[in-house]
Amino acid sequence: MPVPKRAERSALWLNAAWLLAISPTHAATTPALSTEDIHLSADLLDSDARNDEHVMTGNVRITQGPMSMEAEQATVNGLQTEHSRWQFERNVHIRTAEADLKSSTADAVFAAGQISEATVRGSPATFEQLNAATADKNVRGRARVIEYDFAKGTVKMTQDVWFSYGGNEFRGDTVLYNLNDERVTVNPGGTSNNAGGRVNITIKPGSPIKLPGAQPKPDKGGSTE
């Protein structure tokens, strides 16, 4: 039987490694694994099995259920371990059922066969919430660094932050946003490097004030809007 070409060997080995990473044999010692398969595609794969380093180049795309990650290049280290680390470069686009992020670069961690967190960087990187509950609020933001915790459903934006919720705008050094309860914290700890060390909020006239986490107040008749 002829020896497969290097690219063919690498592709076969990479596929086997992914199957091992999501195998149910790890279920007793790790969190519950995703039931969805992980799919990878790229124009070129260069795989160093001995050092467990793999580089995919050209139209890189990784999908698992509703999650997708796209970039021009991706480098993964520790694919044979339970915590592999990925670096994405150029035209990075991360999309889940809850959020959409775009940036120049990104670092991501896959734990127990599923993505657990990602940090995106750009000038700026952008974030937008996608779920139907916020369709009328237009929740989005931009910053030089955005950290997305998939398990907790939280987004942390730092450096030159602009954040919009329902048309109202927040600016600060750091913005923490929880996608689940729509709660936002600007400059946690009360520290800031911006002018005067203050949180800046711009409220658009002509529409009700919408602040994340706020509950509507009852009118005189006891009903809510």
Domain residue extents for the chain: 6-24+35-202
Contacts of 131 (CB under 8 A, 6+ apart): 97, 98, 179
Confidence band for 201, pLDDT divided at 50, 70 and 90: low
Rounded mean pLDDT, 75-91: 88
How far is it, in rounded angstroms, from Cα 78 to Cα 9?
18
Nearest CA to 107 among 92, 120, 90? 120
Q: Taken in order 24, 27, 30, 31, is the CA torsion positive or negative?
A: positive
- Going through 150-187 in order, the beta strands assigned E by DSSP cover 154-165, 168-178, 183-186
Give this prediction's pTM: 0.71
* Chain centre to alpha carbon of residue 155: 8
The confidence score (pLDDT) of residue 180 equals: 85
How far is it, in rounded angstroms, from Cα 117 to Cα 128?
16
Indicate the range of 19-33, 47-61, 117-131, 209-223 predicted with least confidence: 19-33
Indicate the range of 42-51, 77-86, 204-213 predicted with least confidence: 204-213
What Rg do the C-alpha atoms of the chain give, in angstroms? 21
Higher per-residue pLDDT: 202 or 196: 202
* Chain centre to alpha carbon of residue 212: 20
Q: Is 215 helix (H, G, I), strand (E, B) or coil?
A: coil
Q: Is the pLDDT of residue 168 over 70?
A: yes
* Third-level CATH fold of 6-24+35-202: lipopolysaccharide transport protein A fold (2.60.450)
Contacts of 10 (CB under 8 A, 6+ apart): 45, 46, 47, 49, 54
Confidence band for 155, pLDDT divided at 50, 70 and 90: very high
Contacts of 9 (CB under 8 A, 6+ apart): 47
How far is it, in rounded angstroms, from Cα 127 to Cα 133?
16
How far is it, in rounded angstroms, from Cα 16 to Cα 12?
6
The confidence score (pLDDT) of residue 16 equals: 35
CA distances from 33 to 30, 186, 217, 222 (A): 8, 34, 42, 46
Rounded mean pLDDT, 121-144: 83
Confidence band for 143, pLDDT divided at 50, 70 and 90: very high
**11 class by beta-carbon count within 10 Å (0-12 exposed, 13-18 middle, 19+ buried):** middle
For the chain, percent of residues with pLDDT exceeding 70:
65
